[in-house]
Amino acid sequence: QIEKYPLGASPAPDTTTSELPYAGSAASITQVIFRVSGSTNIGVNGGIYLDDLRATGNALSPQAAWRLAFFGSTDNSGNAAEDNDANGNGLSNFLDFAYGFDPVGVSSAANTLEVANPGANGTITQLGGLTFWPDPATGDVYMRYTRRTDYSALGLVFTDQFSRDLGTFEDANQAPTVIATGIGDGGAAIEAVQLKMPLVLPDSGGKARFGRNSVQFAPQIEIILPVKK
C-alpha cells in the first residue's frame, strides 16, 4: 500500500491504495520495480512514503511455462494441446515435453541418442529418441531414452516394456539407471537412462527382442475419511 504522511508527524495515513493486480504471464519474476511520483501543495511540507510494499502471486507450472515458450499460450488446446503432434515428429506434444524435445521446430527425436562416459559423470553429447545400444564389451543390449530430471516432481510416470514378437509387451521388472545428464531442446534439464534388454521376459519366459516406453501423469488419489456420527 502507498501512504501519504505530513513530514514530521505520524498520524494515520490519509491516502492508501488498494492492491494493484499484475496481469502478465511470466513463469517466474526475478525483479519487480515500483515507480511512485507525487507532489505537495504550495506551502505544505509533505512527502510520499511506501509501507508494506509487496508482490505476491503464483508462477506458472513447468508445463504451462513450456507451452507459453513454444506456442505463445498456456492453454491445453488447439496446436498446443497435449495430444496434438504440432511438428509431425510422431510424438505428441505431451511426449515432447516429457522427453525434452522441441514440439514445433526441428525435433531431436529422430537423432540417435549418444552419451559420453556413461555413469555418474556422463554427459549427453547428442539428444535423440529411444535408442538400442549394444555394449561392445559384453554383447548386452540396452534400451536408452531421455526424460526431464524433474519428472517425478511433475508426476510423470515412465513405463518400460519388452516383447519377443511385437504381439504382447510385458512390463520391465527393473528400474532404468541414469547414465548421463544434459539440456533438452527447450532448455530444460534432462537425463539419459538405460535398461538392459532381459534375456528372459518376466511373464512369458522368452527373450526380449523389442522394447518401448510410455509416459503418463500419475493418477491423483483422493482419500476421503469417514465421518463419525
* β-bridge partners, 129: 112
CA distance 43 to 40: 8
**Cα–Cα distance for residue pair 210/191, rounded to 1 Å:** 22
The residue written with cell numbers 505476491 in the block is 56
Residue 164 DSSP label: S
Q: What is the pLDDT of residues 108-152, one digit of tens each?
A: 999 999 999 999 899 999 999 999 999 999 999 999 999 999 999
Q: Which residues contact 179 (CB under 8 A, 6 or more apart)?
A: 115, 118, 119, 122, 144, 192, 193, 194
DSSP three-state, residue 71: helix
Model confidence pLDDT, tens digit, residues 171-201: 999 999 999 999 999 789 999 999 999 999 9
The model carries a pTM of 0.72
Domains of the chain: 1-59 (no CATH), 105-217 (2.60.40)
Question: What pLDDT digit, counting tens, does each position of 59-114 carry?
Answer: 788 899 899 999 999 999 999 999 999 999 999 999 999 999 999 988 899 999 99
The pLDDT assigned to 204 comes to 87
Between strands 131-134 and 189-196, the pairing is unpaired
